[in-house]
Every structure is written in structure tokens, then in C-alpha cells.
Copies of this chain bind each other. A is one copy, B any other.
């Protein structure tokens, strides 16, 4: 049994900082690096990629809508050709930093609203996949476990797809994520996050908000890097997986 452990990193902008990237990087195997549209700027990208490479963490692009004010969390209306070009642009920019630091981009995971839109809307999933494929056909496209549109868009563009589950988000009975507007949407306790991580990876299931069991098959687990205790959460998850004999390694390994 194996799994990748990923986190969204490098989401600061100028003088604004978010999360404790260095703490999280010590425990994950893949870094999704913001590309300047919803967060991140070139200097932040340069430093984040350098940190990831030093930690031997696989580097992926985390492209979002051109919406700094909304942090990429709003479904900005955009034509498919605009989404495709936006993804190609961001992936290309981050790929340059990866090469400059002696590595290659391993994967692409859309951010925020773009991730959710692509999980549900075949047209948007296809635009994202086209942008990724035009950048580099060997990239792995990361999307919501169970999303037909993302899996199919990846296949149509000849990309390998990796299903993602969330160690620190509560699920609904139908396998979707519980809305962030609800108070119990996010698991904050490191032990609870580690327990859900283990349940997903070892047993292929998680306990939903209503107490029922959800079946999940995940190639990679996301840990959010912007929680105040993000480092402790990442350490707990990594420790629990290691203790259970799970092989934690990057998607491309």
C-alpha cells in the first residue's frame, strides 16, 4: 500500500504571508506551488521550489483563477480558451523555476474554485487538462477522488490522473466535501486527521458527517498548509502512515 502526501504551498503575495511552508515541507512528499494568480509571486515561487527541492519533495503547479482578491476561491466566469491559456501560462511559469532548481514539474493540481469547477463540469475539466497537456504531456493531473469529469478529461488528453482525498476535511455521505460554511467542515485535531488519513489509505473509506461510511480510493492525500498547527498535523499524518507500514512517496516515484 502506498500513497502520496501533498500540501498547497507558496501562497503568500508580496508582504502577505500564509502558512508555515517549511514546517509542512518536512513531512509531505509533494508540494503544490501557487503560481501568482490566486496567490504566490515570482520570488515566493523561487523560494518555495528551492525549499521543496532541498527537502526532496516533488514539485507540482497549483494554478488558480486570476483573482488575488478572492484567493482563487470564487468561480470566476471564464471561457474555456481563457482557462486553458491561464493554466498553460501558470504551469509554464512554475516549470521554469523547477528546471532552474534542477528538477522537473511532476504534477498539476488546480486550486480552489477551479478545482471544484473542474471536478463537476466536463467543459472546465477539459480546459484545465488541455492547458496541462499543452504544457507537458508527462504531467500527472491531480483531482478530486470520484470526479468523473476530471478523470475523463485527463484520459482524453493522454494525462495520467491521480485521485486526491482530504485527510483534514470532513466528507458527506455521497463522497463530496462538507461545505466550509459549516463549522465542522475541517478536522483540526492532528490525531483525528491522522486517523482519517489512515482510514482512507489503508481501508479505502472514511466516516462521513452523518456517521455513515464513504468509500474512497486515493493516490494522494492533501494536508492544508495554512492551518495554525499545519506542521503538527503533517507530522501526525506522516507518523501514523509510517507506523502502519504505508509507503509514503511522490506520485511519480
Q: Which 8 residue pairs spanning A and B have beta carbons closest together?
A: A92-B96, A42-B85, A15-B71, A16-B16, A42-B89, A100-B134, A93-B93, A14-B69
Q: Determine if B78 and A89 form an interchain contact, defined as CB atoms under 8 angstroms apart.
A: no
Q: How many residues of A contact B (CB 8 A)?
A: 42
Question: In the bound complex, what is the Cα–Cα distance between A97 and B71 (angstroms)?
Answer: 24
* A interface majority secondary structure: helix
Instruction: A5 to B28: give the CA distance in the assembly, Å.
Output: 46
How far is it, in angstroms, between the C-alpha of A6 and the C-alpha of B124 when the chains are bound? 37
Contacts of A96 in B (CB 8 A): 88-89, 91-93, 95, 134-135
**A contacts, CB < 8 Å to B:** 12-16, 18, 36, 41-43, 45-46, 66, 68-71, 73-78, 81-82, 84-86, 88-97, 99-100, 134-135
Assess whether B74 is in contact with A74, with CB atoms less than 8 Å apart.
Answer: no
- Interface pairs (27), CB distance under 8 Å: A12-B16, A14-B70, A15-B18, A15-B73, A16-B71, A42-B82, A42-B88, A42-B89, A43-B81, A43-B82, A45-B85, A46-B85, A46-B88, A70-B76, A70-B77, A74-B76, A75-B77, A88-B97, A89-B93, A89-B96, A90-B93, A92-B94, A92-B96, A92-B97, A95-B96, A99-B135, A100-B134
How far in angstroms is the closest Cβ of chain B from A52?
A: 15
Report the minimal beta-carbon distance from A188 to chain B, rounded to whole angstroms. Answer: 18
Q: How far is the CA of A90 from the CA of B75 in the complex (A)?
A: 23
